[in-house]
Chains A and B, each alone.
Chain A
Amino acid sequence: EVQLVESGGGLVQPGGSLRLSCAASGFTFSSYEMNWVRQAPGKGLEWVSYISSSGSTIYYADSVKGRFTISRDNAKNSLYLQMNSLRAEDTAVYYCAREQRGYSGYIDYWGQGTLVTVSS
């Protein structure tokens, strides 16, 4: 059974940092591209970042570029999101999401999410 379990969320002051983790199990993690997607309270889904299976290709949404860093450790079956210079507008539930590659591609599994609250 595919499982994605996020951790590391919490309350942080504006300008602070937080590191999210996603522990993957039930599949060959090193073979899959991964994403972080967030959802602000009462709002829609917003893609945050993508990392290829090897970690060699990375993309970010403009809203987080220069502040967030995605990474992975295939030996530990783990995905990470380092978030720096956090702002109130980064408050959201952050989901780890597995991508199925292909011409169109799609996300087939999501974690349960971890809540990040940026507030003083």
Chain B
Amino acid sequence: SSELTQDPAVSVALGQTVRITCQGDSLRSYYASWYQQKPGQAPVLVIYGKNNRPSGIPDRFSGSSSGNTASLTITGAQAEDEADYYCNSRDSSGNHLGVFGGGTKLTVL
């Protein structure tokens, strides 16, 4: 197995840019996917692959990767972006998506 490490909490002023990072050895081989989760709701995919957004996800969400670190950037954060964000990747064996980061609580000030 492997681990993905995220900062527990990040804050951003309304309309500013914020980067949420995810570190782990598996990210040297696999792209991370990113999920947004609001209280009482199921997670929602926001970024996958190199930098792909599912239909309906605003273009202020973007992803990038370098070495063992994947990043989710929100450019011009909105109040509705306040949520928990999780990264996910294949484990070191590559057999399954068995690794989640611990999550980052994003507060929009």
Contact = CB atoms under 8 A, between A and B. Distances in A.
Contact of A45 (B44, B86, B95): B86
Contacts of B103: 44-45
Nearest to A33: B96
B43 A110 contact: yes
Nearest to A6: B42
Contacts of B102: 44
Interface of chain A, main secondary structure? strand
A58 to B, nearest CB: 9
Interface residues of B, number: 28
Q: Which of B35, B48, B96, B103 gathers most chain A CB within 10 Å?
A: B96
A55 interface: no
Nearest to B41: A112
Interface string A60-88: 01100000000000000000000000000
Contact of A47 (B42, B48, B49, B100): B100
Contact of A59 (B33, B43, B98, B101): B98
Contacts of B37: 45
18 contacts: A44-B86, A45-B37, A45-B88, A45-B100, A47-B98, A47-B100, A50-B96, A61-B98, A62-B1, A95-B42, A95-B43, A99-B97, A104-B33, A104-B89, A106-B45, A106-B97, A107-B33, A107-B43
Interface of B: 1, 30-33, 35, 37, 42-45, 48-49, 54, 84, 86, 88-90, 95-103
